[in-house]
Chains A and B, each alone.
Chain A
Amino acid sequence: MATDQTTSRPITRRRRGGALWPHAVAGLCLAALLYPVLWMVLTSLKPTSEIIAGTSLLPESWTLDNFVQGWDGAGVESFGTFFLNSTIIATAAVVGNVVSCTLAAYAFSRLSFPGRAALFAVVIGILFLPKEVLLIPQYTIFHTLGWTDSFLPLIVPQFLALDAFFVFLSVQFLRGLPRELDEAAVLDGCGPWRRLWHVTLPLIRPAIATTAIFTFIWTWNDYMPQLIYLNSPENYTLSVGLRMFLDATSGSDLGPMSAMSLVSLLPLFVLFVLFQRRLVKGITMTGLK
């Protein structure tokens, strides 16, 4: 049925534009899709007694107690600390990835040097490499450097262009852009640094924006490395803090858990509202040239 719509799009767009059924279908799907989020929101606003009784989806008496109770966490550190830590790590990761991945992508797509193809193959290889293979040896290295229980193991790799996905994304993006400007700049005697600064950077902004946004989101959502490297509660991020909170409480604390889940997702909602076009474009960019 949806096919029919696609097929006839070019010819009958206007006439069908006002049809109701696509809205009905989309609306229905949306209701199903957003139900889990809605449930989380409503649960976070219910008093514990109502959650246990489990009578209706809507709270009979609305309350913010869950947020107050949840924010204090397991009595060790408040979620404010976790929130701040997640923000520091995600922001640093954004800076690191933007700088290092742009440099690497520039070299791979705009400069030519012996071994370039082989080295780019390494980038692709890293892209597909399961992280589990590197877990233990990396931990040992970071410890030798005295970096465990700090943010460094989570931040420094981002400054070394190891997020191959973003190198790949930027290379793909640059490949799609004409090289003529670069070539003209060479004729004008510009060195590689000036070409990067004056020619490539202005062009590559969309890729940088995509890298920045996705790095933030992915780092925000990241779980395993944070769990392994952060030992003290004052260094915990939201991912680790939420998990601790879940372990430490009984099923009747569904309210605070939902409340803090919601709080932890808040920045993602904000990013989504601000940058939804860029996000959608960014996804497209990686998929298509």
Chain B
Amino acid sequence: MSGEARSDALKLNSPRAATPDSWREGFGVIARILRLTFEHPWQVTFAIGGAMVAAILQLMIPKLLGHAVDQTQAIVDGGGVTRASLWVTAALLLVVSVLRGGFTMVQNYFAEAVGHHVAYRLRLSYYEKIQRLSFSFHDQVHSGDLITVGMLDLEGVRMFFSTGFVRAAFLAMMIGIGAFLLLTTNFVLGLLALSFVPFVAWRSSAARLKLRAAWLTLQEWLGVLTRAMDENLSGIRVVRAFAAQRHEMAKFDKLSQHTLGLQYERIGIRVRNTSMMTFSFFIAMGLVLLVGGQKVIAGEITVGTLTSFLAFMTILQLPVRQLGMMVNSFARASTCGARLFEVLDLNDEIGEAGDAPELAVGDGTLEFEAVDFAYPAAPDKPVLKGISFTAHRGQTIGIVGPPGSGKTSVASLLPRFYDVTGGSIRIDGRDIRSVALASLRRAVGVVQQDSFLFTTTIENNIAYGDPWAEGATIERASESAQLHTYIKNLPQGYSTLVGERGVSLSGGQRQRLSIARILMLKPPFIVFDDSTAAIDAATEQRIRAEMREVAGDSVTLIIAHRLSSLKHADEILFLEDGEVVERGTHDELIALGGRYKALSDLQGQPDDADLEDTKDDRDVENERHAVRQG
């Protein structure tokens, strides 16, 4: 039920994308879901066929019961009916019951199975889509929303076939044939017996839709309450420091009271409707009993016919009540499906021509030529303006500048996380947009700012880019990244679990891990995106020395705010507001006495800064631990 928790959670580029706002759009979504389900024709046939046979068998039961009552009456009256005929009816009833059970099982199982198969396909498509969508998409869409689409909306689509479509087929059979049988047997009594159907169908659908709306509001508020509690617990130190418990409880109470009110409302809607539906059904039953009784007395119908009418009604009652669930399932599938398909239908913004050739790195010369760039979300705010530089094999380019100067954007352009908006980036004279994306990404290793740890062992994390790597290769890379000693001293060494549920690493250790990841791949182009900030200067120097050895002929791009990180670069670009304002070697720039020099002065004597150490406490703690173990 919780699939439709957020009516407008996924706000992609247009706000109307959240829910299909017209009937036609809604039907379009439903039609698409049905197309997906009909990719499993046999199972669909079994489900719907099972539903139809089960409905017919179900309708036979009241008939047989009425028949049995009449038979006994006839035996009593001595109308030439033998007791053996009772046995026949009983046996028939048993067979019909068993068959009904069997066909219902077939119907339910295959309806579920179709849903699960569709869900399986959608899951894979969604996963692959998410992995391919560009960085700019992921920048704009909240990851939590994507997760809910992939979990809950997918669930809404999955449930559609069994709770919506097959049920609709079953109900149509039941009510259609049931009505026909009742009305042909006795028109007036049939009308009375069916009188509750339209009312209950209407109430149940209306109530379901109302409940759904109430549920959506409730979920939204529960989300707010959850966030408030979560924040309180995460920030409990702030709460205690400001002695703000009362303030926090007041906040909690306000939200909690509000959700309680919504719960009351929801209970109210539900109760009013279920009681009303039961009541209307019983009224109809009472009328059938009364009118039918008179007809029995008048000799128009038999007691058996009356019994079969009453039994019919009991059997019809439940499916008619479930009409609301069916309507709900349609409504849910159309909104959930709309959100899901919206993501699946997105174009990969970073496109490549189908026949784009693999990138073959020869000389390994990298050229930025008059590169302009603006993020797709803000196309009129240029981030980089006319950036040009050339780097040959083995060279290092340093990029520095104040926050917001566009440093990091440079790092994202080379592997085509984003595309340039003007100018071009070339490798060996070839525009990077003209080669196969995967081959480009393999040639460019980016040590990213926040290194994401996957929930697996340390060694698998290092080998993330090459999961076939040998243990020795991994250790070599982690030695180069100055991580080996630390890992060796962990109780489980390279098999230590890290990530969400594993050992937590300090900022510096995480950065060293991502350096090891890239060094292991030995790519011809390496980009450090401000990724040594949490590593102390001395360790960084050791890593640089190692790099000269293992990746000496790579082109290295270092983006940093600590000058000691890029002091030795062949060329340093000082960026400000997306433009290169100063360029040259470290000594040239110091001699220039401009912005670079000012930054250098701000950071203290640059030579002493070699020793600058910014490890955090956890680093110290871990290393101590490692030393003790060693």
Q: Do A and B bind each other?
A: no
